[in-house]
Amino acid sequence: MILIGQYDSPYTRRVAVSLGILGFAFEHDTRSVFGDFDSMRTVNPLGRVPSLVLPDGTTLIDSAAILDWLDQTVGPERTLLPPGGLSRQQALQRIALSTGTIDKVMASAYERLVRPAPYRWPDWISRCRTQAEGGIAALAAHSWPVDARLDQACITTACMIRYIRLADPDLLPPGRYPSLDALSQRCEALPAFRATYPADYVVPSNR
């Protein structure tokens, strides 16, 4: 299997971490959505990451669809998203908060870093950051027991935390939400997270 996308993308990273935790071997294609845009569009018509090329040559796009394929492949005993009931509903709620927050942080980052300065819209950036702060606070209001089974809500939220601390660290300084700090530390210590640790944010360039 080949995973396409860089690990400063939280969506790519949550797939890479999930592949690692579930024990799938994969190659990593580090093409950039911005630097390799034309090439990327031959993989995914949307020109986005992540994509996963399966052993039979099928290309899956969108992290949620890829994660669903992984869970279907390992079977109900090992799924990262609980297969049903209240635990699935609760996990999906947390994932919705995490991915929604990622989307708002990313929208604000693109506005600040990709859009040429004369066209930037401060009110829009402020709105996105307010929405992101709401998502972070709502996630922090949940409990994240350190001995709970590591599920997709934990993985996605930990990837969100690392992404925010790269792209817009003022949104989540250490100490503001100790439960999120603890979740991040617990996850980042695991081999599947360490193998995908994004030390730097690759600033998207439109040049």
Ligand X SMILES: N[C@@H](CCC(=O)N[C@@H](CS)C(=O)NCC(=O)O)C(=O)O
**Interacting residues toward ligand X by CB under 6 A:** 9, 11, 33, 47-50, 62-64
DSSP assigned state of 36: T
In whole angstroms, the minimum distance from the beta carbon of 164 to ligand X comes to 13
Phi-psi map region of 75: left, alpha, beta (phi>0 left; psi -120 to 50 alpha) = left
Nearer to ligand X, 92 or 179 (CB): 92
How far is the first Cα of the chain from the last one, in angstroms, to the nearest whole number?
Answer: 31
Does an H or E element contain 18, and which?
Answer: helix 10-22
In whole angstroms, the minimum distance from the beta carbon of 41 to ligand X comes to 10
In whole angstroms, the minimum distance from the beta carbon of 9 to ligand X comes to 3
Nearer to ligand X, 33 or 171 (CB): 33
Q: Are 7 and 16 in contact (CB under 8 A)?
A: yes
What angle, 0 to 180 degrees and rounded to 10, lies between the N-to-C axes of helices 122-141 and 178-188? 80
In whole angstroms, the minimum distance from the beta carbon of 48 to ligand X comes to 3
In whole angstroms, the minimum distance from the beta carbon of 43 to ligand X comes to 11
Q: Are 39 and 31 in contact (CB under 8 A)?
A: yes
Nearer to ligand X, 63 or 157 (CB): 63
Nearer to ligand X, 144 or 201 (CB): 201
Nearer to ligand X, 2 or 64 (CB): 64
CA distance 61 to 64: 8
In whole angstroms, the minimum distance from the beta carbon of 63 to ligand X comes to 4
Nearer to ligand X, 108 or 186 (CB): 108
